[in-house]
Structure 1
Amino acid sequence: MASVMFRRFASADLPTEPPDVVHLIGEAAYLSTWQVLRLCRRHWPDVPTTLYAAQNVVTRFPVPFPMLEQAAYRSVRMALPITPQARDVLYAKGFRGASTIVPLGVDARIFRPPTRTDRDGRFTVGFVGRLEAHKGILDLLRAAELVDCDVLLVGEGSLTAEIDLAAARRPGRVRRHGWVTHDRLPALIGAMSALVLPSVEVVQRNVLPWVGIPLREQFGRVLVEAMACAVPVVGSDVGEIPHVVGDAGLIFPAGNVTALAERLTRLRDEPGLSDRLAARGMRRVETEFTWERVADRLYDIWHGLATARTAATAGLPVAGTPAATRGKVSA
C-alpha cells in the first residue's frame, strides 16, 4: 500500500469548489498520502486536512518513506487514530498536532442477536478471518481439543489443509466454512458459543529483506461484530485486541494454549459468565462501535474544523454552529 500512487493528472478530477475538509484514508508514509497533501497545498491551501491512522507498531521505514511521513505530520490539521496504541505511535514517530481516537465500526442493522441459533446445545468456539499462522489458528485447534469442544472456522488461507486434517481427526467436531458476504456472516457467528481471536505477533519482511516489520492485530473488527451478535469473545493480548474487547470478553497470553483452554472452559462451565459477557459486549458496541456513533464523532470533528476555518477567514472569533449545517467532505 505504501507504494501505491494516483495516476498522472489526477488533479483534473478535483472538484472546482473547495471542500470544507479533506480526509485521507491512508497512513502518513504512503506515496498516495503525499500526493494528496501536495494537491491540497497547491489547490486548497486553507482547507483543513485530517488523517486516518492504524499503525500500532513504531516501524522505521527505508528512504524515502520517513521523509514522506514527517511531511504528512507537518501538513495535516488533525490525526484520527483508530486506537490508543495507534495514537501513541503517531506521537512516538514525530507527530505534534491534535488527534482524536475514532474507532472502526459495525453495521448494527446487520450484526445483531439472532432470532434463533443452530448451536443445538453444543459448545462451539469460532473464528472468522484469514486462516494463517499469525492468526493463531493452530493454537485454537489445540485448545479446543483440550476442552473437547466443537470448532467452526470461517475464512480461507494457507492453513486450509491442516484444518482439514484436524477435521478428519475429529469427525463432526471441526467445521470449516469459506468466505461469505456480510449479510450471511451474522448467522454463522450466531452459531458460535464464543468467538476467539487468538492472534500472535509476527515479523514481516515484505518491503526489504533486512527490514523486519512487526505485525500486531490493529483492531480486530470481527470482535465487534461478534459482540453486536451477543456472542462472547476471547482474544489474545496482542496488539489492539485487549482495547477492543474491554470488559466484554476474556484475554489470554498469546500462544499459550493452556491459558486459552482455561478461558474456554470458564465460558462453558461457569454459570452466567457467557450471558454477562454477551450483555457487556452489546452495550460496548452500542456506546462505541456502531457506524452511527462513528459518523457522529467524525461529523463533530469535521464540522468543528470547517467552522474554525470559516471564522478565521472572516476574521471572527470561533462560535458554535448548528449541527444541521452539514459540510462537504472529500475522502
Structure 2
Amino acid sequence: MRVLMLSKACVVGMYQRKLEELAQQPDIDLVVLVPPGWRDPDRGWMPLERAYLEGYDLRVTPIRFNGHFHWHYYPKIAQEIRRFKPDLIHIDEEPYNLATWHTLWHARRSGAKTLFFSWQNIERRYPPPFRWGEQWVLRTVDYALMGTQSAAEVWQAKGYRKPLAVVPQFGVDPVVFSPPERPRSGASFVIGFVGRLVEEKGGAMLLDALSQLDGVWQLDVVGDGPEKENLMAQAKQLRVADRLTFGSLPSTRMPGYYQGLDVVVVPSLTRPNWKEQFGRVIVEAMACGVPVIGSSSGAIPDVIENAGLIFPEGDAAALTDLLRQLMRSPDLRQTLAQKGRQRVMEFYTQAQVAAQTAAVYHQMLKID
C-alpha cells in the first residue's frame, strides 16, 4: 500500500525513528511530507532535523502561516497527492485546523482513504469557521487515531461515529533511550524537568517543593518559554537559584541528559482548557532507567501506572515527600528504574507504535 503522511511533528529527528519502523512493516511504501521547520509559539524556530531516514522518502514541502496552529496549511499538497497517488493519507494533524481541511479536501478527490490524529483530551467548542471545519472532518474522514482513551471519548462526545484506534503518536527507541552503562555517581541528587516553561507545566510548584527539600540536590531544566524569568526570580526569592540550571538541547542529545539524572518530575497542572495529554518526557525517562514522579493531571497516571510515583497535582508538600523518599532510598530508585524500563518495552517502543499504526492502515483499506 502507498501511504502519504503529512506531519510537522516529524521535523524532530527522534520522531523519525517511528517512520523507519513503519516503513519496515509489510506492504508499506511510505512518503512523509514535512515543512522546512516549525515556528513553535513556545519553543521558537524548530528546524528540520534529518536523523532517521532509512526505508522511506522524507520530502520537504512549503508551509503557509508557519507557527499558526489553526491556520497553517501546505499549498502543494494537491501536487504531492497527484505525484505519489497514495492509497491512504495519514494527516498527522488535529481535525479543527486548516491543514487537515485542505488535505482532506484534496484527498477525497483522489479517492485515497484518510485518517487524522488527535491528542485533545478536553472538550472544546471553537468559533466558526473552526467548528464548521471540525464537524466536516468528523463526517468525512475514514478513520481517527487517538493518543489516549480520554481523547477518543472527547471526539465521540463531539459526534465522531466512524472507526478509531487508541495509539500513541510516537514511542521511543529503546536502543537510543537506554540506561547508562554505569550507574550515575555523584554527591548531588540530580532532578530533571523537561518541557515548556508555561504556568500549566507546574514549574513554580516544583520550585516550592524543592525549597523544602533538605540535602544536596540540583535541578536541571531543559526548556524555554514565557515563565522562565518568573521562575528564575522565584528561585532567587526561595534562595535555591544556585542549585538550578536552565538550558535547551536538541532531541539527539536528550538520552545523555536523562542518563545524568536521578529522577524526572512532571508536575503538570490541569487548566480549564488544558490537561496533560501524554507526557512524552515520561516514556523517554523511563526508557533511560530514570524514576519518574508525575502529578495526577490528565494522562500522566495512565502512562506511569505502577512504574513511578504519583502525587495530587498542585500539592507541593506531597511532591517534597516523594522526592525525599527517592533521595534517601537508592533501592527504591533502582526498583522504579527497572519497572519503568520494562513498561516502555511492553507498550511504548517505536516498533510497537509502528506495528499498531500499520494494523490500522491495513484495516482501513478493507473498509468499504
TM-score (norm: length of structure 1): 0.83
Offset of 1:252 from its aligned partner? 1.1
Deviations 1:261-317 (A, max 9, x none): 1121222234632222111111111111111111111111112322x15xx6xxxxx
Distance, in Å, in 1 between the alignment partners of 2:231 and 2:141 is 45
Moved more, 163-172 or 26-35: 163-172
Counterpart residue number, 2:225: 157
Asked whether the equivalents of residues 266 and 282 of structure 2 are also in contact (C-alpha less than 8 Å), the reply is: yes
Unaligned runs of at least 5 residues, structure 1:
204-213, 313-331
Counterpart residue number, 2:71: 3
- Counterpart amino acid of 1:269? R
Distance, in Å, in 2 between the alignment partners of 1:274 and 1:122 is 15
- Counterpart amino acid of 2:220? L
- Counterpart amino acid of 1:34? W
Structure 1 residues 302, 150: CA separation in 2 closer, same or farther (over 3 Å shift)?
same
Asked whether the equivalents of residues 154 and 179 of structure 1 are also in contact (C-alpha less than 8 Å), the reply is: yes
Counterpart residue number, 1:170: 240
Asked whether the equivalents of residues 119 and 192 of structure 1 are also in contact (C-alpha less than 8 Å), the reply is: no
Deviations 1:142-179 (A, max 9, x none): 2112122332212222333344442692365x231311
Say which structure, 1 or 2, has more relative contact order (CA 8 Å, 6+ apart). 1
Distance, in Å, in 2 between the alignment partners of 1:119 and 1:218 is 33
Counterpart residue number, 1:206: none
Asked whether the equivalents of residues 228 and 285 of structure 1 are also in contact (C-alpha less than 8 Å), the reply is: yes
Aligned residue for 1:216, secondary structure, equals: coil
Q: Does 2:271 match 1:194?
A: no
Deviations 1:59-108 (A, max 9, x none): 00101222211111112222110111111111111101111111131122
Moved more, 264-273 or 119-128: 264-273
Asked whether the equivalents of residues 81 and 107 of structure 2 are also in contact (C-alpha less than 8 Å), the reply is: no
Aligned length: 295
Structure 1 residues 37, 120: CA separation in 2 closer, same or farther (over 3 Å shift)?
same
Deviations 1:171-214 (A, max 9, x none): 65x231311122322222222211001011235xxxxxxxxxx1
Aligned residue for 1:115, secondary structure, equals: coil
Q: What is the RMSD computed on CA atoms of the aligned residues?
A: 2.0
Offset of 1:10 from its aligned partner? 4.2
Structure 1 residues 159, 10: CA separation in 2 closer, same or farther (over 3 Å shift)?
closer
Distance, in Å, in 2 between the alignment partners of 1:289 and 1:92 is 27
Distance, in Å, in 2 between the alignment partners of 1:147 and 1:17 is 58
Counterpart residue number, 1:88: 153
Structure 1 residues 280, 36: CA separation in 2 closer, same or farther (over 3 Å shift)?
same
Counterparts of 1:116-127 in structure 2 under 5 Å? 116=182, 119-127=185-193
Aligned residue for 2:333, secondary structure, equals: helix
Asked whether the equivalents of residues 201 and 269 of structure 2 are also in contact (C-alpha less than 8 Å), the reply is: yes
Percent sequence identity is 36
- Counterpart amino acid of 1:155? G
- Counterpart amino acid of 1:133? E
Distance, in Å, in 2 between the alignment partners of 1:275 and 1:130 is 28
Asked whether the equivalents of residues 113 and 142 of structure 2 are also in contact (C-alpha less than 8 Å), the reply is: yes
Counterparts of 1:239-254 in structure 2 under 5 Å? 239-254=298-313
Distance, in Å, in 2 between the alignment partners of 1:305 and 1:84 is 20
Counterpart residue number, 1:326: none
Asked whether the equivalents of residues 114 and 186 of structure 1 are also in contact (C-alpha less than 8 Å), the reply is: no
Counterpart residue number, 1:38: 105
Distance, in Å, in 2 between the alignment partners of 1:29 and 1:132 is 23
Counterpart residue number, 1:207: none
Deviations 1:221-275 (A, max 9, x none): 0111100100010111112111111211111111110111112122223463222
Aligned residue for 1:215, secondary structure, equals: coil
Q: Which of 54, 69, 92 is the aligned partner of 1:25?
A: 92
Aligned residue for 2:82, secondary structure, equals: coil
Offset of 1:118 from its aligned partner? 5.0
Distance, in Å, in 2 between the alignment partners of 1:116 and 1:162 is 37
Q: Does 2:63 match 1:63?
A: no
Q: Which of 72, 79, 82 is the aligned partner of 2:144?
A: 79
Asked whether the equivalents of residues 174 and 349 of structure 2 are also in contact (C-alpha less than 8 Å), the reply is: yes
Asked whether the equivalents of residues 201 and 215 of structure 1 are also in contact (C-alpha less than 8 Å), the reply is: yes
Q: Which runs of 4+ in 1 moved over 4 A?
A: none
Q: Which of 283, 288, 309 is the aligned partner of 1:229?
A: 288
- Counterpart amino acid of 2:309? L
Q: Does 2:249 match 1:180?
A: yes
Q: Which entry has the higher C-alpha Rg, 1 or 2?
A: 1
- Counterpart amino acid of 1:153? V
Q: Which of 348, 351, 358 is the aligned partner of 1:299?
A: 358
Q: Which of 171, 178, 201 is the aligned partner of 1:135?
A: 201
Counterpart residue number, 1:15: 82
Counterparts of 1:280-319 in structure 2 under 5 Å? 280-306=339-365, 308=366
Distance, in Å, in 2 between the alignment partners of 1:93 and 1:119 is 51
Aligned residue for 2:252, secondary structure, equals: coil
Aligned residue for 1:147, secondary structure, equals: coil
Counterpart residue number, 1:263: 322
Distance, in Å, in 1 between the alignment partners of 2:159 and 2:232 is 47
Aligned residue for 1:27, secondary structure, equals: coil
Offset of 1:16 from its aligned partner? 4.3
